Amino acid sequence: MLELKAVRRAFGGIVAADGIDFSLAAGERRCLIGPNGAGKSTFFKLIMGLIKPDSGSIHLDGSDISRDEPFRRVQRGVSMKYQTTRIFPTLTVAQNMFIASPGGKLSEVAAWGLERLELARNTARPAGELSYGQQHWLEMCMALGNTPRVVLMDEPTAGMTPQESQRTAQFIKELGDRGIAAIVIEHDMGFVRGLEAPTTVLHQGRVFRHGSIAEIERDPDIQRIYLGDAHG
């Protein structure tokens, strides 16, 4: 459903994406991990169209979207939940959802999300009055406003309680049951384990490993990347 082929992007002498090959099936969930500076944010920006690749291509449902503007990609079914919430705090939950919904009509999956995360009972409340975790959940529901094919989530559980993180993991799993794929950048390995998803490791702008989280955690090269070489 989503495929990146030999995608490269450099900023001056720094290569942030170095020939990335990546594919994602409809309804699949995938974790994306890597040390700081590995290229994770660049990876998301390339998919969203916030930056364009220097070479290589990005395909969605077989169509080349490499040069499409971000709003075209949203129309095609790509959506994103940012690391820091981007809601309208003085507007109500319902008004936030109205803004995120094409034509102001709440999509079926967005309505489901509000119910599943118990936000439907708070639609008349200003979004700024919600708890920190609820504000993240609201933005997740807003990301469903265009009935996306794939949702990109950048550290969705940052600042959440363990209970909220667990509920978020279950919510992402249920998105797959509805045919919506998800790529999740996360540093909380407990959350990554709970998501029970194949994991891709980025390092220096390249796909370094791919496998289950158990395989990734046992890999000595991954340990070296994160923890350094004991012998210097």
Contact 214, 195 (CB under 8 A): no
Q: What is the pLDDT of residue 231?
A: 42
d(CA 126, CA 201): 38
- The CA-atom distances, in angstroms, between 54 and each of 40, 62, 121, 190, 204 are 17, 20, 46, 36, 17
Radius of gyration of the chain (CA): 18
Task: Give the global pTM.
Answer: 0.94
Note the pLDDT tens digit of each residue in 8-67: 999 999 999 999 999 999 999 999 999 999 999 999 999 999 999 999 999 999 999 999
Domain residue limits, the chain: 2-227
CB atoms within 10 A of CB 98: 16
CATH class of the domain whose range is 2-227: alpha beta
d(CA 171, CA 110): 12
Quote the Cα angle for 161-197-107, to 5°: 75
